[in-house]
Amino acid sequence: MSNMKPGIESLDYELPGTLPAGTFAPILVGVVGSGNLEVLLETLPGPGCRFHVETSARGFGAIWEAVITDFHRRHPLAGVQVSIHDMGATPAVVGLRLAQAVAELPKGTP
């Protein structure tokens, strides 16, 4: 039996960014549902990129950190808040949704 409490787990990461995204309207991709997730991008003052994850799959912080770090190596966004609402998506689906969100940024942005 696990000692883990039931419910949603919240994880927060902040990484330094080198590619300013500028100002843009909020971007939402995906849908919260079984095995899926939604990603919301919003502008954030400052040079960092913040990630806030709310997930029903508790105890996977190390995997989330690895997926987010890998994404941020490819897209070192600055001035962006990334909110992820997850219902058990695989790392591949997380990467897909993050890539979809970045593709929606205004042209001229990474």
Tell me: the pLDDT tens digits for 2-34?
Answer: 566 668 999 999 999 999 999 999 999 999 887
Q: Break the chain into its structural domains and give their ranges.
A: 9-103
pTM over 0.85: yes
Query: What pLDDT score does 83 carry?
Result: 98
Looking at the domain 9-103, which fold is it?
Ribosomal Protein S5; domain 2 (3.30.230)
CA 78 to chain CA mean position, Å: 13
**Amino acid, single-letter form, for residue 60:** F
**Cα distance between residue 58 and residue 60, in whole Å:** 6
**Residues 53, 84: contact at Cβ < 8 Å?**
yes
